[in-house]
Structure 1
Amino acid sequence: MSKIENVSIKIQTGVYGQFRNLKNTVWFALGEYVDNAVQSFENNKSRLQQATNNGYQFEVRINIDNENDFIKIYDNAAGIGLDNFHRAFEPANIPIDNTGLHEFGMGMKTASIWLADLWTVRTGALNEDEERLVEFDLKKVLADERELLEVVNTNKNPSIHFTEITLHNLSKNAPSNYQIDKIKRHLLSIYRKFIRKGDMKLFINDEELIYEEPEILIAPFYNNLSGESIEWKKEINFSTGKYKVNGFIAILSTMSTSTVNGLSLFRRGRVIEGSHDEKYRPKALCGQIGSPRYKRIFGELELEGFAVSFNKGSFQEQEDLEALMEALQTEISSKDFDLYTQAEKYIKPKTLESNIAVAKNIVNTLKKTSDKEVLKTKLDASIKEIESKTLAANNEEFSKKAETIDSHEDIIEIKGEKYKLILELITEQSVSDLYSLIILDDELFSKKIVYKINLAHPFFTRFEKLKKEEDYQPIMLIIRSLVLAEIIAPSQGTKGAGNVRLNFNHFLRNL
């Protein structure tokens, strides 16, 4: 077999220096090597199985060793053969068949320079008797304006096949030890389809990555909880114009706001957008941030017809992608299988066992924090505040003057009477009430009810869990219910219904 003496890396050498500054992430950079290995496997699957009497298992191993300043990527696919060797090192030499994962002809080169100053490629192709080694030293290439790299050839057994890329003198882009866990999770998420099918085993620092499937909700429809339980997973097979999408959209069994909820968008079998904790969550499908739908909907969608970015980290036609997601909303909202509404309105019933556990924990907490003397002191302080007319007047005055951050209006009907209900959110340190209430006359409605909730109240700062808007929703509902109770109380013969609100505010502040 003829020996390869050198390979061309011809390009304006200054361009290589710019590769270091490309916008990228470590997992997408490492993914370039995995893409090449996967494509080599896909192109030579039958040959690899024949060479091992159907005992072949495709593997990719990535070792990150910061202590010794190197990263090694090894795969046992078919290697870089004689017919592809020159192309593999020439920048932007796009493969004749660019329908696979190595479509740009730049992945290995840009990723290697982005991650390191020095890198070597050692490879042996299946059914070839030459092993080849190439070294790329970025500083020498730039200093000498090199256009050729020497290839070192050694004899090997034709049955041996592999590619090993070693990165030395790592750049500032290289991963720290703290990033390794995140790299594992992203690469596992990106290549889950190949791992799930058993086509590939992926190892990071000798740990095999195993993908755990999210649990899908199996439950009756939200408005018929006694009905038949359904697996809430919708198979998608949809096309519009040049675009096609297939896969599934489903509802999580348990709500999530971290790495499980949201969509992963695939192209050619690997994730482009939506890996690990960077899920794709279009408003058309997932709703408002923090909503039940946002926390429940997840899925995998394989897209066709879309171009991708240079590092294969995003789709190019974002407006068309958003329009496609809007079309899919109709797909998951059909009357016979309304997954869209189920995701928003289904409430998972609490089991007897979970309620018993919660009850015991509540009682145990109360026992630990119960102190009669402290409680008496707090109650006395609350009574003094309740009886203080000056404090009540100040609260009313400061509440009226407080600037409204935002507001919301509702029209409600109670016992045939229509009311205009206005919520105003304020943040006023000088107001000691959690919420206040004003009932006004109105020409169009029986009454106009304005209630203000003070987000600067000590109650909200007392609990660390109150951070996001969804954390406040239960409290907002309780206050709204108290407002409605005060409105309806006089029609039931209750006098001085507002006293409950006044007393509630003071006890809440002190207890």
Structure 2
Amino acid sequence: MANKDKNAQDGEDFEVNIEPDASALRMFRSMSFTPWYALGEFVDNSITSALRNHKELITKNGKDYQLKVEITFPAGTNSLVVEDNAAGITQKDMQRALKTGVPPEDTSVGLSKHGVGMKAASLWWGEHVIIDTYSLTEPNGWHVEIDVSEKGEVTSIVKVSKIPHRGFSGTRLEVRGLWQKTPQAKTVTSIKSYLPSIYRAFIGDTAKDGQLKCSILYQNQPLKFEYPKLLTEPLWTSTSGPGEGELERYWRKDISIELQTGKKIEGWVGILDRMSRDLSGFFLHYRGKGIAGVVPLNSDKDEDQAEAKDAISRGSYKPRRIFKQQGSYPDQSFIGEFDITAFGKTITTDSPLWTPDEEGEFIEKLFNKMSDDDYIRMATNLRRNKAAVVDEEANKKSDKTEAQVIQDALSGHVDHVEIETTAEELEQIKVVLGDDAKEEIWIVPIEDHEGHKHIFKLAFVKDVSRPFLMVKELNTHEHEIEVNIFHPSLNGVIIDGNGRKILQRLAVAFAASEVFSSGYDKSRLRNKANDVLSKLGMILKD
């Protein structure tokens, strides 16, 4: 060992005991990572390296130095590459960096805490890890490989080889032989949404003054985060409107909470300018890194994000004491960020290390502060009224898109074939509505297999006394669908752009089922509706 230490001091090749051996390291494959948090471990290391050497990196690279982390899955290689321009790993730190469970000597700066993240994430992704690192303070770089594949040598000793310096500091990590699937479709959307949200405190314009700035690239595309707009309104003391004499205010409040244990939680809470299931919720961070309640998607422009949004929303941090029941106005109104660094974080960095009592005390004290300053009352009263306000431009754009989607999905793909049902399923035909004031939505031509062109007209009516859905036969091939958006069954439902889409799809499915079923047996409606919905699903699933 004395010779190894001497070689290390001389800047030559040396060996490191990484303990445990390669066979034990294979267990990291079974850790409960998500792809975005596993990739985040590499970003953690890069940010930590840059934070600890920020002044030196600025001195070396200039005052405009910005950390850059590039994440790529090269096509056709079954590999992952993560590269940065941080401070690299020195010869002295190499043994600690490679050995599992040995934390940095100083954990007061940066995001690394347990000494597990990089190794665990690397070996969760794949079986062969290759690291090339170039220190800010050394004339050469270092190369090391950890191979835990069945073909690899089962040993706890790895060789670290001296390599020429590339000219600037940083680290390149490659994982070959991936155990996990290369991210596709929804996973890619989630990664590109989660990562900038998790590291919002460090990315671009959202980084605070004097804070290390970082750019994260995924497949050569820079990731960005934008905060949603918060509400500016007078206090609504009731659902009728603002209270007399109430002045306009900006609904964002700084929060400081001290628990009985002496631990402090600081942050802010706000009310969204527009209600959003996807953006609402609290963001909990450890030294700036989001570890819980990371709700990243701040745009409805990309409809391919729909399924990723559903998964992300389910993971949002929404204490029900504050957010009430799902789908309520408070549930879609509140947003905020809180620093829970005092509690620490789990190894997989997706939750704070607080006890149930500590979390409960935090929630109760936060609720009281929000109530004292009328946040609960404001969200409930304002949103209940303003939910009916129509965003005309957004709705027209949504209606036009939806009409085209329905026409493309159904025209030429429906027929008059009966779907068999049992006698018990027979139901009476409902009486159609007369003409009344209503909101005309769209007109869509749909052609059946026989070449007949059917014209479907959709309208929304607003009358609590009427049935939910009616279909009128204007003539043999012209049909009018009326959906009652004031029906009691929709009480408490937010009829925003997404809600309108759902109603339109269900309405045309039921109406087309009735029109294209043979005879007048409306009991077959449900089975035919499933058939029509499946055809809609074929074009909508992508």
Output the TM-score relative to the length of structure 1.
Answer: 0.68
Alignment correspondent of 1:108: 118
Whichever residue aligns with residue 274 of structure 1, its letter is: G
Residues 82-481 of structure 1 correspond to what in structure 2 (within 5 A)? 82-99=91-108, 100-139=110-149, 144-156=153-165, 160-195=168-203, 196-197=206-207, 199-223=213-237, 225=242, 227-240=246-259, 241-258=261-278, 260-275=279-294, 276=296, 277=312, 278-319=315-356, 320-334=358-372, 337-347=373-383, 349=386, 472-473=490-491
> Counterparts of 2:481 and 2:277 in 1: how far apart (Å)?
20
Aligned partners of 1:466, 1:172: CA distance in 2, in Å?
A: 48
SS of equivalent to 1:331: helix
Determine if contact 1:465/1:471 at 8 Å carries over to the other structure. Answer: no
State the secondary structure of the residue aligned to 2:340: strand
Q: Quick check: 1:64–1:71 contact (8 Å CA) kept in 2?
A: yes
Task: Extract unaligned runs of 5+ from structure 2.
Answer: 1-9, 297-311, 403-424, 432-463, 471-479, 495-524, 526-542
Q: Distance in 1 between matches of 2:52 and 2:128?
A: 29
8 Å Cα contact 2:127-2:148 kept in structure 1 = yes
The answer to whether the 8 A contact 1:124-1:161 is kept is yes
Alignment CA distance shift 1:162-1:170 (3 Å): same
Which amino acid is the alignment partner of residue 95 of structure 1?
P
Q: Distance in 1 between matches of 2:85 and 2:336?
A: 31
SS of the counterpart of 1:20? helix
Q: Distance in 2 between matches of 1:163 and 1:358?
A: 48
Q: Name the aligned partner's letter for residue 134 of structure 2.
A: G
Contact 1:130–1:154 (CA under 8 A) maintained in structure 2: yes
SS at the partner of 1:254? Answer: coil
- For residues 155-213 of structure 1, the C-alpha deviation after alignment (integer angstroms, 9 at most, x for no partner) is 327x6201010111111354235421210111111000011216111111111111111
For residues 12 and 430 of structure 1, do their structure 2 counterparts lie closer, same or farther at Cα, with a shift above 3 Å needed?
Answer: same
The answer to whether the 8 Å contact 1:217/1:232 transfers is: yes
Unaligned runs of 5+ in 1: 366-427, 435-452, 477-508
Q: Name the counterpart of 1:43.
A: 52
Q: 2:31 aligns with which of 22, 36, 43?
A: 22
Give distance in 2, aligned partners of 1:208 and 1:283. 35
Aligned position for 1:496 = none
Cα 1:168–1:132 shift into 2, 3 Å: same
Alpha-carbon separation, structure 2, partners of 1:40 and 1:471:
56
TM-aligned CA deviation for residue 153 of structure 1: 0.9
The 1:296–1:132 alpha-carbon spacing in structure 2 relative to 1, beyond 3 Å, is: same
Fraction of identical pairs, as percent: 25
Cα deviation code 1:76-120 (max 9, x no counterpart): 010011221111101111222223311111111111111011121
What amino acid is aligned across from residue 124 of structure 1 in structure 2?
Y
Q: 1:346 to 1:164 in 2, by over 3 A?
A: same
Counterpart-to-counterpart distance in 1, 2:29 and 2:36: 15
| 1:166 to 1:433, Cα distance in 2 relative to 1, 3 A | same
Shift of 1:429: 8.8
CA distance in 2, matches of 1:61, 1:203: 5
CA distance in 1, matches of 2:30, 2:393: 57
Counterpart CA distance in 2 for 1:358 and 1:193 is 34
* Distance in 1 separating the partners of 2:351 and 2:339: 13
Cα gap change, 1:339/1:156 in structure 2, threshold over 3 Å: closer, same or farther?
A: same
2-structure distance, mates of 1:323, 1:252: 25
Q: Deviations over 1:284-310 (max 9, x none)?
A: 221111110000001111113213221
Contact 2:14 2:161 in 1 (8 A): yes
Distance in 2 of aligned mates of 1:50 and 1:464: 69
Question: Judging changes above 3 Å, is the alpha-carbon distance between structure 1 residues 150 and 235 closer, same or farther for their aligned structure 2 residues?
Answer: same
Whether the 8 Å CA contact 1:66–1:177 is kept in 2: the answer is: no
Normalised to the residue count of structure 2, the TM-score between the two structures is 0.64
Is the Cα–Cα contact under 8 Å of residues 146 and 158 in structure 2 kept in the other structure?
A: yes
Residues 249, 299 of structure 1: 8 Å contact kept: yes
| Aligned-pair CA distance for 1:323 | 2.4
- Measured at CA, do residues 124 and 329 of structure 1 come closer, stay the same or move farther in structure 2, by a change above 3 Å? same
Q: Specify the alignment match of 1:502 in structure 2.
A: none
* Superposition deviation, residue 57 in structure 1: 1.6
Q: Which amino acid aligns with 2:332?
A: K
> Which region of structure 1 is more displaced relative to structure 2, 117-126 or 218-227?
218-227
Shift of 1:472: 2.1
| Alignment-mate amino acid for residue 340 of structure 1 | I
